[in-house]
């Protein structure tokens, strides 16, 4: 049992705008790295293979191949250390968790590009008929 | 007055602090509490104030409860708590106190009633190791093992010692958890964000006071500016 007031507090700590990304997307995640009193931005780019939980607890896992070695990083979506998330490419997937990519090597790790959904509704169609 | 309030546990979440690190917090609806009684050396032999919290329906209250609260000019309240003081307080009877009492408090202690666990075995209740999973162990995997022998009382009798830890009822105990960092105070909504988990279920009544044991680390020594060091 949780109270609405807890959700309100979470709202205060959540980012107002989070770019829409989905499992299968290729993203660039810019993270702030603080070294002493200097701050720089490092970009980690790869495929989103998992989005877990929701609200302030949401995290996502990005997988990429570095020197023939799979590297996965888990980012909390609402962390202040994440400067930006940029979607480079949207992949077509049929499942919510892409753990099967871990068993794949080379070209097999690619995902086919998602086709933009085309919805064509003639302008003279009555609303009831569309249902 | 010593910072202390009665509150209601609302649930846990996580927040980000100024550095950007995650802090697990419990949200507590703390107060506002009414001062329902003031005790002094003259009247009771010691100094104390009594806090009341939470409206109670009059039909569920007894006449003594209603009368006690009426002296302070408040409706019947549900939860009461006395706070011992070293000296007379400047608070008046019937005044309300809220989270602003804690405005310069860094650490708090929280007292509550833990969740009931029912009749629990020794592994859960006292963290016993249990017995082997195999090596011929049958139906005794979570049992406590030996509780006494004939020699326990120097051979006088074959009874276990008093206080031997065994299975039994666990939970619903008064629990004090100490030195919680007080992350944030929201005076408008009477909320406190307290770091870590607190005893009891969500909705349970907890008592929050300024920590009496916390050793607050002194601020990090400020390094002298380099220009001054050169002059010397």
Q: How confident is the model at residue B141 (pLDDT cuts 50, 70, 90)?
A: very high
pLDDT tens for residues A13-37? 888 888 888 899 999 999 988 888 8
B39 vs B31: CA distance, rounded Å: 21
| CATH 2.60.40.10 assigned to B4-118+175-210 | no
The reported pLDDT for the residue numbered B112 is 94
Q: Which residues of chain A have pLDDT under 70?
A: 1-2, 116-118, 121-122, 125-131
Give the Cα separation of B70 and B64 in Å (integer).
10
Residues of B within 8 A of A4 (CB-CB) are: none
Nearest to B11 among A3, A32, A81 (CB): A3
B16:A2 CB<8 A:
no
Residue ranges covered by each domain of chain B = 4-118+175-210, 119-170
Q: Which residue in B46, B36, B43 sits closest to B80, CA to CA?
A: B36
Tell whether pTM > 0.90. Answer: no
B171-227 per-position pLDDT tens digit: 999 999 988 988 889 888 899 999 999 999 999 999 999 888 876 665 555 555 555
**Averaged pLDDT of chain B:** 87
DSSP SS3 for B101? helix
C-alpha A43/C-alpha A22 separation (Å) is 18
User: How far off is chain B from A48, nearest CA to CA, in Å?
Assistant: 22
**pLDDT at residue B121, rounded to an integer:** 94
| Alpha carbons B183 and B17: distance in angstroms, whole number | 8
pLDDT given at position B222: 55
Contact A82, A31 (CB under 8 A): yes
The tokens of B79 are what? 């939860």
- Does the pLDDT value for residue B231 go beyond 80? no
ipTM over 0.85: no
Work out the average pLDDT over B62-76. 88
Most B CBs within 10 Å, among A1, A4, A6, A78, to test the B interface: A6
Which residues of chain A does B13 touch, with a Cβ-Cβ cutoff of 8 Å?
6, 9-10, 56
Q: For residues B27 and B221, which has the higher predicted lDDT (pLDDT)?
A: B27
Nearest-CB residue to A80 (from B14, B20, B29): B20
Q: What is the pLDDT of residue A131?
A: 46
Q: pLDDT by residue (tens digit) across B157-178?
A: 888 999 999 999 999 999 999 8
Report the C-alpha gap between A77 and A71 in whole angstroms: 18
Q: How confident is the model at residue B72 (pLDDT cuts 50, 70, 90)?
A: confident
Q: Is A79 on the interface with B (CB under 8 A)?
A: yes
pLDDT value of residue B174: 94
Summarize the confidence of residues B108-123 as an average pLDDT.
94
């Amino acid at each position: 049992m949780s109270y609405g007031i807890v959700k309100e507090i979470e709202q205060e700590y959540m980012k107002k705008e989070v770019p829409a990304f989905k499992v299968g997307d290729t993203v660039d995640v810019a993270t702030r790295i603080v070294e002493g009193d200097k701050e720089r931005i490092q970009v980690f780019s790869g495929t989103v293979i998992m989005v877990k939980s929701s609200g302030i607890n949401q995290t996502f896992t990005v997988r990429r191949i570095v020197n023939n070695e799979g590297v996965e990083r888990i980012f909390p979506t609402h962390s202040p250390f994440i400067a930006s998330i940029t979607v480079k490419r949207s992949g077509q997937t049929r499942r919510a968790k892409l753990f099967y990519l871990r068993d794949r090597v080379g070209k097999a790790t690619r995902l086919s590009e998602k086709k933009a959904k085309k919805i064509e509704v003639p302008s003279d169609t009555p609303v009831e008929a569309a249902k | 007055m010593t910072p202390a309030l009665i509150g209601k546990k609302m649930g846990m979440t996580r927040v980000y602090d100024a550095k950007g690190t995650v802090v697990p917090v419990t949200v507590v609806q703390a107060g506002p509490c009414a001062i329902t009684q003031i005790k002094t050396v003259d009247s009771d032999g010691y100094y104390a104030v009594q806090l009341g919290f939470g409206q109670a329906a009059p039909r569920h209250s007894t006449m003594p409860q209603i009368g006690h609260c009426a002296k302070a000019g408040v409706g019947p309240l549900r939860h009461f708590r006395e706070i011992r003081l070293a000296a007379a307080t400047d608070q008046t009877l019937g005044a309300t106190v809220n989270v602003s009492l804690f405005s310069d408090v860094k650490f708090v202690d929280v007292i509550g009633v833990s969740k009931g666990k029912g009749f629990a075995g020794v592994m859960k209740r006292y963290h016993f190791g249990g017995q082997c999973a195999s090596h011929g162990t049958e139906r005794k995997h979570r049992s406590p093992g030996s509780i006494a022998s004939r020699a326990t009382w120097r051979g006088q009798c074959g009874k276990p010692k008093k206080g031997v830890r065994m299975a039994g009822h666990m939970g619903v105990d008064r629990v004090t958890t100490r030195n919680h960092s007080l992350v944030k105070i929201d005076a408008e909504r009477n909320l406190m964000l307290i770091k870590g988990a607190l005893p009891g279920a969500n909705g349970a009544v907890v008592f929050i006071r300024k920590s009496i044991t916390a050793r607050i680390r002194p601020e990090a020594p400020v390094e002298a500016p380099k220009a001054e060091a050169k002059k010397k």
